[in-house]
């Protein structure tokens, strides 16, 4: 009977340890989708209060692992909060781009002038 309790206790501790390790490793994939022709440079994606940096040299899709849904994105010192749509950001070259942040996706497009 003693051995049965000991075996059950060890098994329960093992399950708790595995659950804790699994919960600590959960991550999200944030994606910078650069549909513009511009070099964005180093983009900071803030998640869980910390910046996670990814270099975006030009057009393309750039994934990065973060611990939670991003709360904001910083491109060339311009802050774009979660949920923002069509925020105009000036990149290092002096060109302007539109930035939208929705969930785990950051979409960047060339800024066009409408007459």
Is residue 106 assigned to a domain? Answer: yes
Is residue 69 assigned to a domain? Answer: yes
Residue 26 confidence (pLDDT): 84
Residue 45 confidence (pLDDT): 98
Is residue 87 assigned to a domain? Answer: yes
Dihedral sign for Cα 84, 90, 91, 97, please.
Answer: positive
Residue 3 confidence (pLDDT): 63
Is residue 39 assigned to a domain? Answer: yes
What count of other Cβ atoms lies within 10 Å of the Cβ of residue 17? 10
Give the CA distances from residue 54 to residues 5, 87, 94, in Å, rounded to whole numbers and listed in that order.
51, 20, 20
Is residue 3 assigned to a domain? Answer: no
Is residue 18 assigned to a domain? Answer: no
Q: Give burial (CB, 10 Å; 0-12/13-18/19+) of 107.
A: middle
How many domains are there within the chain?
1
* Domain encompassing residue 43: 27-110
Segments of 1-115 assigned E as strands: 28-34, 41-47, 50-56, 60-66, 72-75, 78-81, 87-90, 96-102, 105-110
Report how far apart the first and last C-alpha atoms of the chain are (Å, whole number): 84
Residue 111 confidence (pLDDT): 83
Is residue 20 assigned to a domain? Answer: no
Residue 112 confidence (pLDDT): 74
Per-residue pLDDT of the chain in tens (115 residues, 90 and over written 9): 566 556 565 556 555 555 555 545 689 999 999 999 999 999 999 999 999 999 999 999 999 999 999 999 999 999 999 999 999 999 999 999 999 999 999 999 998 755 4
pTM of the model as a whole:
0.76
Is residue 93 assigned to a domain? Answer: yes
Q: Which two tokens stand for residue 102?
A: 């929705």
């Amino acid at each position: 009977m003693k051995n049965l309790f000991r075996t059950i206790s060890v098994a329960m501790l093992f399950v708790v340890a595995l659950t804790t390790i699994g919960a600590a490793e959960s991550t999200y994939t944030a994606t910078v989708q650069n549909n513009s022709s511009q070099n964005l440079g180093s983009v900071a994606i803030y998640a869980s209060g910390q910046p996670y940096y990814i270099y975006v040299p030009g057009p393309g899709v750039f994934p990065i692992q973060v611990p939670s849904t991003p709360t904001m994105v910083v491109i060339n010192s311009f802050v774009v909060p979660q949920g923002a749509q069509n925020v105009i950001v000036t990149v290092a070259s002096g060109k302007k781009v539109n930035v939208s942040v929705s969930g785990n996706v950051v979409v960047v497009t060339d800024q066009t002038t409408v007459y």
